[in-house]
Chain A
Amino acid sequence: MTISIDPQKTNNESLQPKGWLRYFSFSLDHKVIGIQYLVCGFLFYLIGGTLASAIRIELVSPMSDFMPRDVYNQVLTLHGTIMIFLWIVPVVNGAFGNYLIPFYVGARDMAFPRLNAVAFWLIPPSGLMLVASYFVEGAAQAGWTAYPPLSITTPQSGQIIWILSVLLLGGSSIFGGINFIATIIKLRRPGLKLMQLPMYCWAMLGTSLLVVLSTPVLAGTLILLSFDIIANTGFFNPVLGGNVVVYQHLFWFYSHPAVYIMVLPAFGLVSEILPVHARKPLFGYTTMVFSIMGIVVLGLVVWAHHMFTSGTPPWMRLFFTIATAFIAVPTGIKFFNWVATLWGGKISINSAMLFSCGFIINFVFGGITGVALAQVPFDIHVHDTYFVVAHFHYIVYGGTVFIIFSSIYHWFPKVTGKMLNEKLGILHFIITFIGFNLCFAPQHWLGLNGMPRRVAEYDPQFQFVNQISSLGALLMAISTIPFLINVFLSVRNGKNAGDNPWNALTPEWLTSSPPPVENWEGEAPLVEEPYGYGKEISEQK
């Protein structure tokens, strides 16, 4: 069916609220929705960060003296769930995806603007519901994985609210994914070929495929889990003849791809930022595209490496070890491409660049521990210890959150037309980088020496290293302050950025800053070489 329809007027300007009020409306403008995602996600990041601080305060001493043990379990569950489902996934997909993808494909909005607004407005209520579950009968206590039988035997109301909240967030994620796939494949400006798209489009296409293929499986699994809790069925309850390992398989069929849902968009974003600030074309565009698609395919068949201690048969261990090791290949290609992009470039040392370089360093470290964890003998030794916590945070905080900050420094002038203060930005980077590594690097040692994760009390011999780690967490908490000051000061009276302060070539910079409602005053520009920086220099000569 290929009938042509007139463009839907996405915004009747006289009816839409103006100024900051539009961020509280059911706006259909992809740029407003992007900012809604970002600010909403950041508020939940502050909540999740507060919970993380509470965890680190508790772990300063070996006894559970700061909070009772069940409260500790609730705090770590909410910390994990909020950070994953309400901060990283919505921000790195929803916020930057909504803001940038229509520019990159040369469109005036996303393919389905109303679906887009619905997808965003599912997030605040489910997030508030999740936070409020603490005040009901205690929040969920079973960790962000909600493994049965733990999730069946702990107090029910908190767990059910957790399930409902994650189902809504999963729905939001699926709607977003459908929208991104349709926008990237179908809404491209005439004349723009797939292989000319900026790398973030490819990353979002791969991510959205993962979202569409794997999130529904989690939804189905959680529905079955809620039956177990409410209706007393026995899908995952061994007492009633159920099988807990089936839950783990279904859960990780989503939640391993979820790691790529969190980190692939960051790969895309860093591929946008590095060429601009190094004034060089992105190295190895084609290999980047193929490695993203390789990660998507492999990412769907490695889930059982989370389950090496769950009685998995030897053939399964062998298969998933090999498949996981293979993922290091496309990831390594991307890593070397970024380094090669920087190599010999005219690098400007600014906050965006520093956070991107921090990402590369942290990510390669997290990647190496990841390959180590894929090996069964090593994994069995450190399973469910702080080594896993350290590895995970190196990928998700050291990787993705660093890129979120890098992207904020990079695109802030686009969104507001004002520059962020560079001195405060560099201060923010230094405190974050030191705090992050101080917090999580010692946890590798803790894990190797056998400190289990998710417990409020630990062996006193680990106290000193835990205190170093908590000091790092304190620095990470402090690092938010210069960032917030920077944003508030710069929005009010930052120096004017002009339309294109970085002299970037990607399409979003070829319109005014902040952009007009439908992105372009006239027809969308055709950008055939989004990374043609070398040519730009030779033309100037």
Chain B
Amino acid sequence: MTTLDSSKEIQKNNSEVNETHEDFRMFGLITFLIADGMTFAGFFAAYLTYKAVNPLPDGAIYELELPIPTLNTILLLVSSATFHKAGKALLKDKNSDSQKWLFFTAFLGIIFLICQLFEYFHLPFGLTDNLFASTFYALTGFHGLHVTLGTLMILIIAWQSRINGGRLTSQNMFPLEAVELYWHFVDGIWVVLFIILYLL
């Protein structure tokens, strides 16, 4: 019961308390990404269950070809590396280099989305043709939505890392680091998705 009294004493001496605490925004983002990953885990679990227990009906077409998704996998993996380059450059206060790498990363993201759409238009099945077609479009579409959001965020932080008046500096790395983590997460999900959907 002594705590109450001692706190009142501190209050008298310490009218302007300058408190600091750890920056835990990254912790919150990681927690969110775990939650987001669980959404994908649910989709993957549904797809794998369908694959195990629901045979493809006679005459239904569900064929995937590897070249475009393989190219997409390479695009995303390279974009992860270029994003990392952007962070390194910003840390050394080379804002214009950082901005170039970010724009290049966003460019790779856009190419990925274009390839994805190209694949959609050339597949021999549509959304409602059969169960696996639906699952394919739902999974890749949900992932594509993540890539779209990520690309938009990369463009925003690329704009913010401009030399005059940009708020992204080596002292304020958080926006870049947050988007980078999100981007690596989206890449990681794609690798799992590629293995489950195309290779299995």
Please list the residues of chain A having a beta carbon within 8 angstroms of any beta carbon in chain B.
Answer: 1-7, 108, 111-112, 115, 174, 177-179, 181-182, 185-187, 212-217, 219-221, 223-224, 227, 231-235, 240-243, 246, 249-250, 253, 505, 507, 510, 520-527, 536, 539
Contact = CB atoms under 8 A, between A and B. Distances in A.
Interface in B57-103: 57, 60
Nearest to B46: A246
Contacts of A520: 7, 11
10 A-B pairs closest in CB distance: A522-B11, A525-B3, A217-B42, A186-B24, A216-B39, A216-B38, A233-B134, A4-B20, A522-B10, A220-B42
A242 B47 CA distance: 11
A235 B43 CA distance: 11
A241 B57 contact: yes
B131 A240 contact: yes
Interface string B26-61: 111001101111111111011001100110010010
A2 B50 CA distance: 45
A212 B36 CA distance: 9
A524 B38 contact: no
B49 to A, nearest CB: 5
B6 interface: yes
Given A521-B7, A525-B7, A241 B27 contact: no
B31 A522 contact: no
A213 B12 CA distance: 45
Contacts of B17: 522-523
Contact of B23 (A2, A233, A507, A524): A2
Contact of B28 (A108, A178, A233, A524): A178
Contact of B7 (A182, A223, A522): A522
Nearest to A250: B42
B11 A182 contact: no
26 contacts: A1-B174, A3-B23, A5-B23, A7-B20, A111-B28, A179-B28, A182-B31, A186-B27, A212-B35, A215-B35, A216-B37, A220-B42, A220-B142, A233-B134, A235-B138, A240-B131, A241-B57, A243-B53, A246-B46, A246-B50, A250-B45, A522-B8, A522-B10, A522-B11, A522-B12, A522-B17
B34 A510 contact: no
Contact of B26 (A1, A177, A524): A1
B35 A174 contact: yes
B36 to A, nearest CB: 7
B128 A523 contact: no
B164 interface: no
Nearest to B40: A220
A539 B6 CA distance: 18
Nearest to A528: B3
A235 B38 contact: no
Given A182-B28, A214-B38, A240-B128, 18 more contacts: A4-B23, A5-B20, A6-B18, A174-B32, A174-B35, A177-B35, A185-B27, A212-B31, A212-B35, A213-B35, A223-B138, A224-B138, A233-B128, A234-B130, A242-B54, A246-B49, A520-B7, A526-B3
Contacts of A505: 1
B8 A182 contact: no
A438 B17 CA distance: 56
B128 A231 contact: yes
